[in-house]
Every structure is written in C-alpha cells, then in structure tokens.
Amino acid sequence: MIKDNGDAVKFTKNNNAAFNATGKPKDATITGGISIKGYD
C-alpha cells in the first residue's frame, strides 16, 4: 500500500471501482501518470 500520498490512493481506489464496473482490469488504472499495479 502506498502511504505517502493518501489522496492519490483514494482517487485510485475510486477509479478502480469505475474500471471494475466497466470490466477493465484494476491493474490498468492510471492516476497522475503513474500506473498502479498490485498495491492493494
């Protein structure tokens, strides 16, 4: 888990819900140009 940028993590988690709802893989979520893979 990323601990040094809580707002970005919350934003990413919110995006994950939207991505999952459209059937897109969580690992494809990109926030602020950073690809988040497997941090949950």
| Beta strands 30-31 and 34-35, pairing class | antiparallel
Specify the pLDDT at position 33.
Answer: 55
Specify the pLDDT at position 13.
Answer: 64
Q: Are 22 and 31 in contact (CB under 8 A)?
A: no
Low-confidence residues in the chain, pLDDT < 50: none
Whole-angstrom distance, CA of residue 4 vs CA of residue 13:
15
DSSP for 1-40, please give it.
---S-HHHHHHHHHHHHHHHHTT--GGG-EETTEE--S--
Whole-angstrom distance, CA of residue 9 vs CA of residue 7:
5
